[in-house]
Structure 1
Amino acid sequence: MDASRFRVPLRAPLRIPRLAGPVVALSCCLALAAGCSGSGSAAKDEQGGADTAQASAPRAADDLQNGYLTVIKNVLPSVVQIQATSDLGSGVVYDDKGHIVTNAHVVGGEESFQVTTASSEEPLTAKLVFAYPEQDLAVVKLDSVPDGLAPAKFGDSSKVQVGDIVLAMGSPLGLSSSVTEGIVSATGRTVSESQSGGGTGATIPNMIQTSAAINPGNSGGALVDLDSEVIGIPTLAATDPDLGNSAAPGIGFAIPANMVKTVADQIIKDGRVTDSGRAALGIVGRTVVDSAAQAAGVAVVSVESGGAAAKAGLEAGDIIIRLGDTDITTITSLSEALAGDKPGDKTTVTYTRNGAERTADVTLGEQ
């Protein structure tokens, strides 16, 4: 990952003009500036400013801490722990009907779960409504809604800015109701999950990057701003290949709240996702390598009847090497290129057939 470099300009050295008068005159001026004047007003103003600054610093710290405590009090009761047969994750209460939104990789292939809420002494039972692995989101519903179940308030993630202070809430390593703190490090990230370690393999666009610690068990919890609004669902942490694919500290990603609301509302209303907003070519593909064993494109294994690729004339056996201006070397790079497009967008697919390079104009379909 590229890191931006910030250059701080050096200030020019302070230059004091040569004085024509005797040194004592300068001493007198310095003495007056330090408080030798008869009125002492300058000294009082300076001291008053220092006192004000010193007094405001702890007040600002107190205000920030009180803000944290308010957010935790408002949101933490809406964050639950979800226990599958062998996996554990988090979820966020979505409404007062008992719907809970979480990650698809938290529910895996299971249908029933144990859910522990902030107010329940014993785990509650819940069933899967629908999982949408393509966006790594899922909704489960409590079999019985306890009194006082508190839905979280989901904010407008399009207003999130780099530098916003955020809190991540969930059950990292099974430690329920845990809170970590950080900032929004970046927005608009496209991230591809690994299928190893329980991931769905999804390529997810527009994710929020945060420095708040996201550990195993945080998945499906809440990324919250200081207005007590959920702005994202923590989903995964970056890994560092140089460290044996262990988690890279301070680099985590959350699915933005606007996408969460779009998917959850459809699942609750229709029992499935009816309008994903995700572009698709309508193929099944696999990565191919060249004679040097380097990834060299995506081979079309099959073409969906009536899909975008079929309408554009692509066939099984074609090898896609470019989408628009983006070179395609792997199935992941193809997914990432499509993540920036919408259904109905027009693009050009460059591919090879029997060794000859060709192009096709494609109107993208929906995943």
Structure 2
Amino acid sequence: MDVFRTRARRTAASAAVLVCCAALASGCTVPVAEAGLTPVTARTAQPTAASDLQSQYQRVIKEVLPSVVQIQASHDLGSGVVYDDKGHIVTNAHVVGSEKTFLVTTASSEQPLTASLVFSYPEQDLAVIRLDKVPAGLKPAVFGSSEKVEVGQIVLAMGSPLGLSSSVTQGIVSATGRTVSEGSTGGGTGATIANMVQTSAAINPGNSGGALVGLDGQVIGIPTLAAADPSLGGSAAPGIGFAIPVSMVRTIADQIIKDGKVVDSGRAALDITARTVVDSRYQPIGVAVVSVRAGGAADAAGLRPNDIVTRLGEEPITTITSLSEALAAQKPGQRTKVTYERDGVEKTVEVTLGEQ
């Protein structure tokens, strides 16, 4: 699926009536009181439900929005989420890019605050920055659990789309467990990210690094990508966005804050460098091994340069992207079969996957 990063350049009828209609259809009449309803109850049931939902939206927004910040780099603008009371803010790696210092606007700051990069992890498109001075009243967000995220769940996306700070859009969780590859051009990280949350909440440029929130007020993901429709010249496909799951956000952010870097990625690797190969019709047919890391997973299994990998487990491999997506579904230390061609002969070998 084509995707683009979302950072921005600066710049009913009443119940009583239904009861009566049902009674008339059967050839008799039933008084409203006998149906257990009163005219007032019937008239107010639906508006009350709508009012309750609206109140819930407003409560969540009031509770969470102060924890969502705007991050400004030299030429780009994105969003972030306050992670703790020490001034750590989690965002996307593509928001921070290669820069080390930033201006951050919080809900309680009249002027932008300065912040510095702690660590960026492009492989998962996550980064942590820290405010140089923690302002009074800084409010960390509450981060939830990926295990409780369900398709159909109402969610709100909060961030700074197109530089419009403290903006909120609404939708549902459309799917879970998506593996999505991000482009590497235009400042993208080229990351392949597994288990992403797909949402219909609008995600626009500038929403990157913000918060995807459930109606319980807990962050369930970091909005990162929006789908692009090739038939529309690569422009956004409305209602299809993706957020990094909160489980991965917490895993990576906790390591960065504790160790200053990611020490356990949880991402499987073959420990090779490789390139996509094409046939005589310029169609991709596999991934050629360019080099093998000594002592790594591929080396231990006997793979060597010029081998062409065509399958990982049951997944066909035709491009570097498809290999990355297949590995994203695996775990370090897991054993899997690798099918490859060597001198025109197909071979299969078991590999114990390494860690990226």
Structure 1 residue aligned with 2:29: 34
Greater RCO (CA < 8 Å, at least 6 residues apart): 2
Unaligned runs of 5+ in 1: 2-26, 36-41
Q: What letter matches 2:183 in structure 1?
A: S
Q: What letter matches 2:134 in structure 1?
A: V
Residue-by-residue CA offset, 1:143-191 (whole Å, 9 max, x unaligned): 0000000000000111100000000000000000000000000000000
Instruction: Provide the aligned C-alpha RMSD in A.
Output: 1.4
Q: What letter matches 2:29 in structure 1?
A: A
Superposed displacement of residue 47, structure 1: 7.7
- Cα distance in 2, alignment partners of residues 43 and 158 from structure 1: 45
Query: TM-score normalized by structure 2?
Result: 0.91
SS of residue paired to 1:196: coil
Superposed displacement of residue 317, structure 1: 1.2
Q: Give the 5 Å matches for 1:1-367.
A: 30=27, 33-34=28-29, 42-46=31-35, 48=37, 51-367=40-356
Count of residues in Structure 1 that have an aligned counterpart in Structure 2: 333
- Cα distance in 1, alignment partners of residues 274 and 98 from structure 2: 23
Going from structure 1 to structure 2, the CA distance change for 1:329 and 1:145 (only over 3 Å counts) comes to: same
CA contact (8 A) 1:156 1:257 kept: yes
- Cα distance in 1, alignment partners of residues 39 and 331 from structure 2: 56
Going from structure 1 to structure 2, the CA distance change for 1:50 and 1:279 (only over 3 Å counts) comes to: farther
Superposed displacement of residue 325, structure 1: 1.2
- Cα distance in 2, alignment partners of residues 120 and 286 from structure 1: 48
SS of residue paired to 2:347: strand
CA contact (8 A) 1:34 1:43 kept: no
Superposed displacement of residue 62, structure 1: 0.8
SS of residue paired to 2:64: helix
Superposed displacement of residue 197, structure 1: 3.0
Query: TM-score normalized by structure 1?
Result: 0.88
- Cα distance in 1, alignment partners of residues 315 and 142 from structure 2: 38
Q: Which has the larger radius of gyration?
A: 1
Superposed displacement of residue 55, structure 1: 1.5
Superposed displacement of residue 49, structure 1: 5.7
Which piece of structure 1 moves more, 242-251 or 304-313?
304-313
- Percent identical pairs in the alignment equals 72
Going from structure 1 to structure 2, the CA distance change for 1:43 and 1:170 (only over 3 Å counts) comes to: closer
Residue-by-residue CA offset, 1:275-311 (whole Å, 9 max, x unaligned): 1111110011111101111001001111112110111
Q: What letter matches 2:53 in structure 1?
A: L
Residue-by-residue CA offset, 1:238-280 (whole Å, 9 max, x unaligned): 0000110100000000001111000000000000011111111
